[in-house]
Chains A and B, each alone.
Chain A
Amino acid sequence: MRHLMSPLDFTTEELEKLFCLANDIENNKEKYAHACDGKILATCFYEPSTRTRLSFESAMIRLGGQVIGFSDAGSSSAAKGESVSDTIRVISGYADICAMRHPKEGAPMVAMEKSLIPVINAGDGGHQHPTQTLTDLLTIRSLKGSLSGFTIGLCGDLKFGRTVHSLIDALVRYDNINFIFISPDELKIPDYIIEMLKNKNIPYKEVSSLDEVMPQLDLLYMTRVQKERFFNEEDYIRLKNYYILDTEKMQLAKPDMLVLHPLPRVNEISVEVDNDPRAAYFKQAEYGVYVRMALILTLLELA
Chain B
Amino acid sequence: MLNVGQIEEGFVLDHIKAGKSLSIYEHLQLDKLDCTVAIIKNARSGKMGKKDILKVECDINQLDLDVLAFIDHNITVNVIKDCEIVEKKVLVLPKTIKNVIRCKNPRCITSIEQELPHIFVLADEQKEVYRCKYCEEKNTERF
**B is a partner of A:** yes
Task: Name the B residues within 8 Å of A103 (CB-CB).
Answer: 107
Q: Which of A106-135 contact B (CB under 8 A)?
A: 106-107, 109-110, 124-127
Roughly how many angstroms separate A109 CA and B119 CA in the complex, as a whole number? Answer: 12
Task: Name the A residues within 8 Å of B92 (CB-CB).
Answer: none
Task: Name the B residues within 8 Å of A85 (CB-CB).
Answer: 113-114, 116
Residue contact A104 to B114, C-beta cutoff 8 Å: no
Task: Tell me if A101 counts as interface (CB < 8 A to partner B).
Answer: no
Residue contact A105 to B113, C-beta cutoff 8 Å: no
Residue contact B133 to A109, C-beta cutoff 8 Å: yes
Residue contact A110 to B113, C-beta cutoff 8 Å: yes
Tell me the minimal C-beta distance from A12 to chain B in angstroms. Answer: 21
* Residue from the set B111, B112, B135, B137 with the largest chain A CB neighbour count within 10 Å: B135
Roughly how many angstroms separate A125 CA and B137 CA in the complex, as a whole number? Answer: 13
B103-143: CB near A (< 8 Å → 1, else 0) gives 00101111111101000000000000000111111000000
Task: Tell me if A83 counts as interface (CB < 8 A to partner B).
Answer: yes
Task: Name the B residues within 8 Å of A105 (CB-CB).
Answer: 105, 107-109, 134-137
Task: Name the B residues within 8 Å of A126 (CB-CB).
Answer: 107
Roughly how many angstroms separate A124 CA and B113 CA in the complex, as a whole number? Answer: 14
Task: Tell me if A102 counts as interface (CB < 8 A to partner B).
Answer: yes
Task: Name the A residues within 8 Å of B105 (CB-CB).
Answer: 105
Task: Tell me if A84 counts as interface (CB < 8 A to partner B).
Answer: yes
- In the complex, the number of residue pairs spanning A and B with C-beta atoms less than 8 Å apart equals 49
Task: Name the B residues within 8 Å of A125 (CB-CB).
Answer: 107, 135
* Residue from the set A83, A105, A124 with the largest chain B CB neighbour count within 10 Å: A105
Residue of A nearest to B116 (CB): A110
Roughly how many angstroms separate A274 CA and B115 CA in the complex, as a whole number? Answer: 50
Roughly how many angstroms separate A125 CA and B113 CA in the complex, as a whole number? Answer: 15
Residue contact B107 to A110, C-beta cutoff 8 Å: no
Task: Name the A residues within 8 Å of B136 (CB-CB).
Answer: 105-106, 127
Residue contact B135 to A106, C-beta cutoff 8 Å: yes
Which 10 A-B pairs give the minimum distances between C-beta atoms?
A106-B134, A105-B135, A104-B109, A106-B109, A107-B109, A106-B135, A83-B114, A125-B107, A105-B107, A105-B108
B interface residues with partner A (beta carbon < 8 Å): 105, 107-114, 116, 132-137
28 contacts between A and B (CB under 8 A): A83-B113, A83-B114, A84-B109, A85-B113, A85-B114, A85-B116, A103-B107, A104-B112, A104-B113, A105-B105, A105-B107, A105-B108, A105-B109, A105-B136, A106-B108, A106-B110, A106-B134, A106-B135, A106-B136, A107-B113, A107-B134, A109-B133, A109-B134, A110-B116, A126-B107, A127-B107, A127-B135, A127-B136
